[in-house]
Chains A and B, each alone.
Chain A
Amino acid sequence: MKETPLSNCERRFLLRAIEEKKRLDGRQTYDYRNIKISFGTDYGCCIVELGKTRVLGQVSCELVSPKLNRATEGILFFNLELSQMAAPAFEPGRQSDLLVKLNRLLERCLRNSKCIDTESLCVVAGEKVWQIRVDLHLLNHDGNIIDAASIAAIVALSHFRRPDVSVQGDEVTLYTPEERDPVPLSIHHMPICVSFAFFQQGTYLLVDPNEREERVMDGLLVIAMNKHREICTIQSSGGIMLLKDQVLRCSKIAGVKVAEITELIQKALENDQKVRKEGGKFGFAESIANQRITAFKMEKAPIDTSDVEEKAEEIIAEAEPPSEVVSKPVLWTPGTAQIGEGIENSWGDLEDSGKEDEDEGGSDEAIILDSIKMDTGVEVSYIGSHDAPIVLSDSEEEEMIILEPDKNPKKIRTQTISAKQEKTPSKKPVKKRKKKRAAN
């Protein structure tokens, strides 16, 4: 679906409100929306909600051979997908620009900052390394995808546990989660992106823009920082020209925000760890709050299947078993056999010479069709025996002798024009052929 354009009055309204330091949702200029982090049952699965923007992150790992020029390092792979669920404008072919931009930013933030120790992902140098794959799915777009995605990525990576591996000489043993507890990844630091939206050529600044604000902004500045106040990535887009002190001010704000967010992440990870250790229930199903009216849970319900067997037996007793359809292949010459016949050529009238043959075939087959129609109430066994005596009007053979299964008498069919007694006047066949197509 095409994106609905933003009306001029809405645009003006938003800009005026920003000039007066007001935001539509009542936040202050430097306020973030509510961040909620929940984990799934598998390790490495999390959903991050930044206001209404939702991102699902999942980390998975696989043993592969390393890249040729980096034989001792593991491979990190990031993939952000803008699901069609996120906004009606996100259609499979249409979001490439935005998608590429987000993916690239995410990669620079997480890969180039070396937050994950890739050397520790090596199992056998030059042969086997871990490939860690981070899949992020945007579930709802309400602005500031990059922040939510970076938080989801780093939380998922911190939550993930990879299977334990031990190397003894030449032998590599991969332990399943049941044999040995899976091992967390070694993460040096947690880079988190903070976005700043600029309006009116850099005069006004907002942190964490929501979707409407993103639409009217002039430019975006993204700073990825970790809690040690090190800038991992910085990117300015939109063509706004910023002064040095503006950028410095933004980085200070980012420092404060990142500290808060990192604390939140740590708390969430600890909580989840605690619940898992105590054996409590965890996972998304549990994290849906019970008190909300729109959420509903039902406990496992045992189903009474005691009468299932009797019911089933009844049904089978009433239904006749399907007939034994024995296909009798007809041997023409050694190496050529024919089983059954094809359906009549339904390509329509080809030429006159073909017409009469088709007519005859049509009439013949139409009669069978009638009798089949009458039989529809009856079981399968009857239909099985009408093993389609249909003429192959295109075949080159002059004569075909078909042996029918028991019931029907032998029929001799010829392609030659003469000699078809029995049949109905030639007017009818055309109509009956049409009926056959309708039945098809």
Chain B
Amino acid sequence: DTSVLAGVYGPAEVKVSKEIFNKATLEVILRPKIGLPGVAEKSREQLIRNTCEAVVLGALHPRTSITTVLQVVSDAGSLLACCLNATCMALVDAGVPMRALFCGITCALDSDGTLVLDPTAKQEKEARAVLTFALDSVERKLLMSTTKGLYSDAELQQCLAAAQAASQHVFRFYRESLQRRYSKS
């Protein structure tokens, strides 16, 4: 039920103050549904931006800007993972050169240690810890991780392994939906 709409503009003109001479300037803008964007949105923007930075081949488009605009359409849990997936798909659709695809997976640990992948808002609220990972498609390596709550290192490794297994499904979804998209032309 969580929906995020992503739009990518780029490579496009960049203001002189923001230009980087040897690579593209990445910008991510996240708009919440209600109210004006605040600090939480800013921190999510930075997380997404850093993930993109690792994956996008900015050196192919120096002195340009690649802007991703994300609009939260509905939030029912696992929002950051949804934003990451939307960003990746939008970048692919826009034809931005990347070295790998990435996906976001959220994991929640509740008080008795049970692992729940892709938690709903209710599950997130009642969980002891919520972990979000960004994994890349080539070797399932970790690109970004952000966590909230208390957990042991064993649990961290478990969540990471589960996320890697789940990322298979997400990448398969990417592949199939892209096949459908490009089958028309």
Please report A residues at the B interface, Cβ cutoff 8 Å: 1-2, 40-42, 45, 47, 56, 58, 60, 81, 83-85, 88, 133, 135, 137, 139, 283-285, 293-294, 296, 298, 301, 303-305, 307-309, 311-313, 315-316
In the assembled complex, the Cα of A58 lies from the Cα of B34 at a distance in Å of 7
Our pick among B5, B69, B180 for the contact of A293 (Cβ within 8 Å) is B180
Our pick among B73, B153, B165, B180 for the contact of A47 (Cβ within 8 Å) is B73
Q: Return the chain A residue nearest B165 by Cβ.
A: A303
Interface pair A56/B71, CB less than 8 Å apart: yes
Q: Is the interface of B mostly helix, strand, loop or mixed?
A: mixed
| CB within 8 Å for A303 and B117 given contacts A285-B1, A308-B162 | yes
Q: Which residues of B sit under 8 angstroms from A309, Cβ to Cβ?
A: 158
Interface centre among B13, B34, B160 (most CB of A within 10 A): B34
Q: Is B173 an interface residue (CB 8 A)?
A: yes
Q: Which residues of A sit under 8 angstroms from B162, Cβ to Cβ?
A: 303, 305, 308
Interface pair A312/B161, CB less than 8 Å apart: yes
Interface pair B1/A41, CB less than 8 Å apart: yes
Interface pair B166/A298, CB less than 8 Å apart: no
| CB within 8 Å for A135 and B71 given contacts A85-B5, A296-B180 | no
Interface pair A135/B173, CB less than 8 Å apart: no
Q: Return the chain B residue nearest A286 by Cβ.
A: B1
Q: Return the chain A residue nearest B70 by Cβ.
A: A85
Our pick among A2, A40, A42, A83 for the contact of B13 (Cβ within 8 Å) is A2
Q: Which residues of A sit under 8 angstroms from B161, Cβ to Cβ?
A: 305, 307-308, 311-312, 315
Q: Is B17 an interface residue (CB 8 A)?
A: no
Interface pair B181/A316, CB less than 8 Å apart: no
Q: Which residues of A sit under 8 angstroms from B173, Cβ to Cβ?
A: 296, 298
Q: Return the chain B residue nearest A282 by Cβ.
A: B1
Which 5 A-B residue pairings sit nearest by Cβ, starting from the closest? A296-B177, A85-B7, A312-B157, A85-B69, A312-B158
Interface size on B, residues (CB 8 A): 37
In the assembled complex, the Cα of A84 lies from the Cα of B13 at a distance in Å of 14
Q: Return the chain B residue nearest A301 by Cβ.
A: B169
Of residues 22 to 64 in B, which have CB atoms within 8 Å of A's CB atoms? Answer: 29, 31, 33-35
Q: Return the chain A residue nearest B118 by Cβ.
A: A300
Closest Cβ–Cβ distance, residue A283 to chain B (whole Å): 6
Interface pair B176/A315, CB less than 8 Å apart: no
Q: Is B115 an interface residue (CB 8 A)?
A: yes
Our pick among B9, B29, B158, B166 for the contact of A88 (Cβ within 8 Å) is B9
Q: List 17 A-B contacts (CB under 8 A).
A: A1-B12, A2-B13, A41-B1, A41-B76, A56-B71, A56-B73, A83-B71, A84-B9, A133-B34, A293-B183, A294-B180, A294-B181, A296-B176, A308-B165, A311-B158, A313-B154, A316-B153
Q: Return the chain B residue nearest A2 by Cβ.
A: B13
Q: Is B137 an interface residue (CB 8 A)?
A: no
In the assembled complex, the Cα of A47 lies from the Cα of B74 at a distance in Å of 11
| CB within 8 Å for A304 and B9 given contacts A47-B73, A83-B31, A85-B69 | no
Interface pair A88/B12, CB less than 8 Å apart: yes
Q: Which residues of A sit under 8 angstroms from B115, Cβ to Cβ?
A: 305, 308
Q: Which residues of B sit under 8 angstroms from A316, Cβ to Cβ?
A: 153-154, 157
Q: Is B67 an interface residue (CB 8 A)?
A: yes
Q: Which residues of B sit under 8 angstroms from A47, Cβ to Cβ?
A: 73
The 8 A CB mask of B151-185 against A (1 = contact, 0 = none) is 00110011011100110010001001100110110
Q: Which residues of A sit under 8 angstroms from B71, Cβ to Cβ?
A: 56, 83, 85, 137, 139
Interface pair A293/B184, CB less than 8 Å apart: yes
Q: Which residues of A sit under 8 angstroms from B73, Cβ to Cβ?
A: 40, 45, 47, 56, 284
| CB within 8 Å for A305 and B165 given contacts A296-B173, A296-B176, A316-B154 | yes
New A-B pairs, 14, CB < 8 Å, besides A45-B74, A135-B33, A296-B177: A1-B9, A40-B74, A41-B74, A56-B5, A85-B71, A133-B35, A139-B5, A283-B3, A285-B1, A303-B165, A305-B115, A305-B165, A312-B154, A316-B154
Interface pair B165/A84, CB less than 8 Å apart: no
Closest Cβ–Cβ distance, residue A2 to chain B (whole Å): 7
In the assembled complex, the Cα of A283 lies from the Cα of B1 at a distance in Å of 7
In the assembled complex, the Cα of A298 lies from the Cα of B31 at a distance in Å of 26
Q: Return the chain B residue nearest A47 by Cβ.
A: B73
Closest Cβ–Cβ distance, residue B127 to chain A (whole Å): 16
| CB within 8 Å for A315 and B157 given contacts A42-B74, A293-B183, A294-B180 | yes
Q: Which residues of A sit under 8 angstroms from B180, Cβ to Cβ?
A: 293-294, 296
In the assembled complex, the Cα of A411 lies from the Cα of B112 at a distance in Å of 50
Q: Which residues of A sit under 8 angstroms from B177, Cβ to Cβ?
A: 296
Closest Cβ–Cβ distance, residue B49 to chain A (whole Å): 15
Q: Which residues of A sit under 8 angstroms from B157, Cβ to Cβ?
A: 311-313, 315-316
Q: Return the chain A residue nearest B178 by Cβ.
A: A296
Of residues 108 to 141 in B, which have CB atoms within 8 Å of A's CB atoms? Answer: 115, 117
Closest Cβ–Cβ distance, residue B155 to chain A (whole Å): 8
In the assembled complex, the Cα of A133 lies from the Cα of B34 at a distance in Å of 8
Q: Which residues of B sit under 8 angstroms from A139, Cβ to Cβ?
A: 5, 71
Interface pair A284/B3, CB less than 8 Å apart: yes
Closest Cβ–Cβ distance, residue A181 to chain B (whole Å): 19
Q: Return the chain B residue nearest A84 by Cβ.
A: B69
Closest Cβ–Cβ distance, residue A188 to chain B (whole Å): 25
In the assembled complex, the Cα of A81 lies from the Cα of B32 at a distance in Å of 11
In the assembled complex, the Cα of A261 lies from the Cα of B76 at a distance in Å of 31
In the assembled complex, the Cα of A2 lies from the Cα of B35 at a distance in Å of 27
In the assembled complex, the Cα of A340 lies from the Cα of B125 at a distance in Å of 40
In the assembled complex, the Cα of A313 lies from the Cα of B152 at a distance in Å of 12
| CB within 8 Å for A83 and B69 given contacts A45-B74, A285-B3, A305-B115 | yes
